[in-house]
């Protein structure tokens, strides 16, 4: 027969498969976490970036080089593309070259359509590559202008219908010099009106029709470069040359934002032409997105640090259980003369067979997650080394003094050693220093994350856990004294075991504190961001719905109120960049420009109240009544600083005097970030009967009104107003009405920018923290399973039932799990408030500062976690007792630690 010590490593591994498999599973989870979480975050970040860039208007998304002079080389479009700073040339997907005369100064002359009836038409000209390929001629042919003859132009079917044009019709353009002659050569229809080729000339497809008296028709006609040059030379109008480049969003990912932003900045400084300018706002969008991504990357690092710290604690607990289960074997080896290096080699050989393979399996599982690599491969060897070496290290440490029989360690009270006190004080000092540095410096600068500062929440949780361990014996002794006066022995025995320094009060308690802190920290930050977004939504859409358009008839409000589901309606007039003057005299001095809101104060307040929106409507607006003097107004601080008490606002080209009655940073209905605004009470303004103020928005309160019915009524009101201005029927309003609900706006905030990454981060934190907390409770039960089994065996001989045994475990766990949950929850709640701006949460709450908010549901979640932890502990206890016969445990008579 082979000696016991000569059994092969595979055989020994099979004999201790339970603890070894548990340790391998933790290594697998840790490897999967550090591999998959960054990949998922990168995937969400890339998709969020593309979702943020794709809907941008062409002026912001594309790069446009504009100049008054043009090179004579025919390959300028391609040459400029090749000269773009890297990596921009590889990102260019589509390109267009154009020369155009803007419609602002080009006035059409003739005797057809509106021109013959005295109407004013502003007609721009544009020659652009790609237009013939993106359209289909329905009449005539494409322009081919020649010197000495009228410039040929092509118009869309909508422009032809509005201006009464057709092939062969002649008209002219008047500029600073003599008019230039034009002739319509063709009529076309776009193959796809939403194609990027048309974005720079929307009036070429749909002309702007007059909305108010005196407004002109605005349209664009398509011609060739020779035609634009001839018209510019004949009229004195300026022709603008542009080269526009569209970037493929699928080629831009979150890792390239810094390089693309720097390249766009370099493109602005490049000397393309002497008078050239570069137009784009893509870099602004990328900078804003990068700021969000930096914040969410820092938060992800914090959450990962907390989860990895919890996993490391569980690994140590699993290794401790594995060493405890082999105490007799290792003691026997030492008694037979085995050296400590021999014990280390024996356990290391077994661990090396399983742990690296488990880490590799976890890494491969993490690689299955979508997204770019996260650059965390370096952590895999560390995880493999730790999970492989932890059992040999603990085995050697435990066998420094080999003893065959040990006493009851739960009755031995030792003073903490100087080394342990030094380590605990060091952890506390490092955690406090980390909080101070984190408040001052933040976690990282975007390119890198400071690992020490990212671990501050985990360090703070560990420090609080150590303090809790130091403070716990006192309350437990008081509870023990109270338990002696209780009826029955169960409560006394449970509290006594909890206070005797059993393994459940050390490692598992610390792990539980860190796990709960990570989960609660994630939940509190998520709720803080959510509450700030709620505030932003209430200020942006201060009712159940906003209905916006260009201009509505005054009777539209009453018709909207009659739509089923609508409870209240308030008209609003919004005008941007209007003048604020010293008085109502037309010669008055302009003090500043501001956004002007005219609101019916009582109706506005009623709609806000009926919608249940948490905003305040100043009483000066609701109480104002019509009089002879200036009306009270609510203004922003910047306007208040420019106005000396009384001023006048330009509303619909008429001046209304006002006095500053209230000053506020924000007002419901004013776009967040607007720093200059004036709000006037509609009911107090002296409106002329013949030119009343025309609403262009409505606030609606109602329980899910019919959206289609609202839009039909609104568009009909706009058509009626436009028809009255034009003096003819209008089929389609100039600007179709839109309805934005408060709930839709709130959902849009959750989907904007890098918010998907933020949601992923805190979902992982909350779910992972809760799961690891339950595992910590399970390990707390396993750590003292053998000793508890002996106690239960003795108690069963005294008549205790199985149910009483489970109650005993509950009495033992409740004080410890409760203290750990409270300590962890306290850390998770306090840290977001303590760290404040260092977390960068305001990047996710547009226009609103993210403060600190604690939802009572978080407290309820902690209590639920305690209950779930106790349930998990009972489940583990039942599983252990099912596999361990209590009678045999008692007959063994061994006191193994």
As a whole number, mean pLDDT of residues 520-540 equals 84
Report the C-alpha gap between 185 and 167 in whole angstroms: 5
- Residue 504 clears pLDDT 70, i.e. is over it: no
Residue 643 has phi, psi (to 5 degrees) of: -105, 135
Q: Could you give the 3-state DSSP secondary structure of residue 205?
A: coil
Backbone angles phi, psi at 241, to 5 degrees: -95, 135
CA distance 391 to 393: 5
Cβ-contact 303, 762 below 8 angstroms: yes
pLDDT in tens, 163-222: 889 999 999 998 777 788 999 999 999 999 999 999 999 999 989 888 777 778 899 999
- The pair of three-digit structure tokens given for residue 221, joined into one six-digit string: 């006609």
Percent of the chain topping pLDDT 70: 85
1, pLDDT greater than 50: no
Specify the range with the lowest mean pLDDT, choosing from 169-178, 332-341, 710-719, 886-895: 886-895
- Mean pLDDT for the stretch of residues 536-541: 88
d(CA 346, CA 369): 37
Query: Is the Cβ–Cβ distance between 527 and 853 less than 8 Å?
Result: yes
What DSSP letter does each residue of 303-342 carry, written as one string?
A: HHHHHHHHHHHHHHHHHHHHHHHTHHHHHHHHHTT--HHH
Class of residue 882 by CB neighbours under 10 A (exposed 0-12, middle 13-18, buried 19+): exposed
Q: Residues with Cβ < 8 Å from 94, sequence gap 6 or more?
A: 196, 197, 245, 246
Q: State yes or no: cis peptide before 87, omega within 30 of 0.
A: yes
- Give DSSP secondary structure letters for 128-195: ETTTGGGEEEEEE------TTSPEEEEEEHHHHHHHT--TT-EEEEE-SSS-EEEEEEEEEEES-TTS
pTM for the model stands at 0.78
Burial class (CB in 10 A: 0-12, 13-18, 19+), 291: middle
Mean pLDDT estimate for the chain: 82
The pLDDT of residue 205: 92
- Token output for 604: 């506005």
State the Cα–Cα distance between residues 732 and 724, nearest whole angstrom.
14
Name the pLDDT band for 855 (thresholds 50, 70, 90).
confident
**What's the pLDDT at 446?**
54
Instruction: Determine what percent of the chain is predicted with pLDDT higher than 90.
Output: 24
The answer, yes or no, to whether residue 785 has pLDDT greater than 70, is no
Q: Residues 59, 63, 68, CA angle at the centre, nearest 5°?
A: 85
Tokens in use for 354?
Answer: 């399983």
Query: Can you read off the two tokens belonging to residue 476?
Result: 């437990």
Q: Could you give the CA distance from residue 153 to residue 170 in angstroms, rounded to a whole number?
A: 10
In the prediction, which pLDDT does 720 show? 85
Highest-confidence segment of 99-113, 143-157, 470-484, 613-627: 143-157
* Cα 642 to Cα 583, 636, 675, distances in angstroms: 13, 10, 12
Query: Is residue 541 reached through a cis peptide bond, with omega within 30 degrees of 0 on the bond before it?
Result: no
DSSP string computed for 778-809? HHHHHHTHHHHHHHHHHHHHTT--HHHHHHHH
Give 66-79 pLDDT, tens digit per residue. Answer: 998 877 677 889 99
Stretch among 510-519, 533-542, 650-659, 779-788 having the lowest mean pLDDT: 779-788
Q: Which tokens go with 891?
A: 């007959």
User: What pLDDT digit, counting tens, does each position of 424-447 carry?
Assistant: 888 889 888 988 888 887 766 555
Q: Given this model, what pLDDT does residue 234 score? A: 86
d(CA 54, CA 320): 54
Mean pLDDT, residues 866-884: 68
Give me the phi and psi of 446, to 5 degrees please: 105, -45
Q: What's the pLDDT band for 757 if we cut at 50, 70, 90?
A: confident
Average pLDDT for residues 619-631, to the nearest whole number?
86
The pairing of beta strand 697-702 with beta strand 646-651: unpaired
Report pLDDT digits (tens) over 566-589.
Answer: 999 999 999 988 889 988 887 888
Asked whether the predicted pLDDT for residue 892 surpasses 50, the reply is no
Buried b (16+ CB within 10 A) or exposed e, 757-792: bbbbbbebbbebbbebbbbbbbbbbbbbbbbbbbbb
Give me the pLDDT at residue 774, please. 78
d(CA 847, CA 584): 33
By CB atoms closer than 10 A (0-12, 13-18, 19+), residue 613 is buried
Q: Which residue has the tokens 């809790």?
A: 468
The residue count of the chain comes to 897
Spell out where 500-601 has E strands.
545-548, 566-581, 590-599
């Amino acid at each position: 027969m082979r000696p016991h010590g000569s059994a092969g490593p595979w055989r020994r591994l099979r004999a201790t498969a339970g603890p070894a498999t548990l340790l391998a599973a933790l290594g697998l989870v840790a490897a999967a976490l550090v591999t998959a979480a960054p990949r998922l975050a990168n995937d969400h970040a890339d998709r969020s970036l593309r979702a943020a860039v794709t809907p941008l208007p062409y002026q912001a998304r594309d790069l446009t080089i504009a100049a008054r002079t043009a090179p004579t080389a025919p390959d300028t479009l391609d040459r400029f593309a090749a000269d773009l700073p890297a990596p921009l040339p590889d990102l260019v997907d589509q390109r267009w070259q154009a020369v155009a005369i803007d419609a602002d100064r080009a006035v059409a002359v003739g005797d057809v359509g509106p021109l013959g009836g005295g109407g004013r038409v502003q007609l721009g000209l544009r020659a652009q590559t790609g237009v013939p390929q993106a359209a289909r001629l329905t009449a005539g042919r494409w322009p081919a202008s020649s010197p000495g003859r009228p410039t040929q132009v092509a118009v869309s079917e909508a422009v032809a219908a509005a201006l009464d044009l057709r092939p062969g019709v002649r008209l002219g353009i008047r500029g600073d010099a003599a008019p230039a002659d034009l002739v319509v050569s063709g009529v076309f229809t776009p193959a796809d009106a939403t194609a990027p080729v048309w974005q720079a000339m929307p009036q070429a497809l749909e002309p702007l029709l007059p909305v108010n008296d005196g407004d002109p028709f605005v349209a664009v006609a398509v011609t060739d470069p020779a035609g634009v040059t001839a018209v510019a030379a004949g009229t004195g109008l300026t022709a603008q040359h542009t080269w526009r480049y569209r970037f493929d969003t699928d080629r831009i990912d979150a890792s390239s934002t810094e390089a693309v932003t720097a390249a766009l900045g370099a493109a602005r400084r490049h000397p393309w032409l002497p008078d050239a300018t570069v137009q784009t706002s893509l870099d602004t969008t990328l900078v804003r997105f990068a700021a969000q991504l930096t914040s969410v990357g820092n938060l992800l690092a914090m959450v990962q640090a907390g989860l990895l710290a919890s996993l490391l604690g569980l690994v140590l607990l699993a290794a401790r259980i594995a060493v405890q289960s082999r105490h007799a074997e290792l003691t026997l080896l030492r008694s037979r003369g085995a050296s400590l290096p021999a014990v280390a080699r024996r356990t290391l050989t077994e661990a090396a067979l399983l742990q690296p393979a488990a880490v590799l399996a976890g890494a491969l599982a993490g690689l299955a997650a979508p997204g770019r690599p996260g650059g965390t491969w370096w952590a895999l060897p560390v995880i493999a080394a730790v999970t492989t070496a932890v059992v040999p290290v603990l085995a050697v440490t435990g066998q420094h003094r080999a003893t065959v029989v040990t006493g009851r360690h739960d009755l031995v009270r030792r003073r903490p050693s100087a080394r342990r006190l030094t380590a605990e004080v060091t952890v506390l000092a490092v955690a406090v220093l980390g909080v101070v540095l984190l408040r001052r410096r933040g976690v990282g600068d975007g390119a890198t994350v400071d690992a020490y500062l990212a671990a501050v929440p985990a360090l703070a949780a560990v420090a609080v856990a150590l303090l809790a361990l130091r403070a716990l014996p006192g309350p437990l002794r008081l509870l023990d004294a109270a338990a002696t006066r209780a009826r029955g022995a169960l409560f006394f025995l449970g509290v006594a075991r909890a206070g005797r320094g059993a393994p459940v009060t050390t490692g598992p308690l610390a792990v539980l504190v860190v796990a709960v802190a990570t989960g609660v920290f994630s939940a509190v930050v998520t709720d803080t961001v959510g509450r700030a977004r709620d505030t932003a939504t209430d200020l942006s859409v201060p009712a159940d719905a906003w209905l916006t358009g260009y201009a509505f008839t005054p009777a539209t409000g009453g018709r909207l109120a009659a739509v089923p589901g609508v409870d209240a309606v308030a008209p609003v007039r919004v005008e941007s960049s209007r003048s604020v003057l010293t008085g109502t005299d037309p010669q008055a001095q302009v003090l500043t420009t501001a956004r002007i809101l005219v609101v019916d104060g009582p109706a506005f307040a009623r709609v806000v109240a009926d919608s249940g929106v948490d905003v305040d409507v100043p009483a000066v607006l609701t109480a104002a009544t019509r009089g002879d003097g200036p009306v009270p107004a609510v203004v922003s601080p910047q306007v208040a600083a420019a106005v000396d008490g009384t001023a006048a606002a330009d509303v619909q080209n008429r001046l209304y005097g006002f006095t500053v009655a209230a000053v506020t940073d924000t007002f419901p209905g004013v776009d967040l970030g607007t720093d200059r605004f004036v709000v006037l009470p509609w009911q107090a303004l002296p409106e002329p009967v013949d030119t009343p103020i025309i609403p262009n928005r409505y606030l609606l309160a109602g329980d899910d009104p019919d959206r289609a019915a609202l839009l039909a009524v609104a568009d009909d009101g706009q058509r009626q107003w436009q028809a009255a201005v034009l003096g003819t029927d209008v089929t389609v309003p100039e600007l179709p009405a839109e309805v934005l609900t408060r709930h839709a706006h709130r959902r849009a905030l959750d989907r904007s920018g890098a918010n998907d990454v933020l949601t992923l981060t805190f979902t992982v934190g909350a779910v992972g923290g809760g799961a690891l907390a339950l595992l910590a409770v399970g390990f707390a039960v396993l750590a003292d399973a053998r000793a508890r089994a002996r106690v239960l065996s003795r108690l069963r001989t005294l008549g205790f039932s199985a149910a009483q045994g489970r109650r005993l475990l509950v009495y033992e766990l409740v004080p410890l799990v409760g203290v750990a949950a409270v300590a962890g929850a306290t850390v998770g709640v306090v840290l977001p408030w303590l760290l404040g701006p260092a977390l960068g949460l305001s990047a996710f709450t547009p226009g609103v500062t993210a403060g600190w908010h604690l939802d009572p549901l978080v407290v309820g979640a902690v209590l639920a976690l305690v209950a779930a932890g106790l349930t998990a502990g009972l489940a583990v206890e039942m599983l252990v007792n099912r596999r361990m016969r209590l009678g045999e445990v008692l007959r063994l008579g061994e006191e193994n630690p």
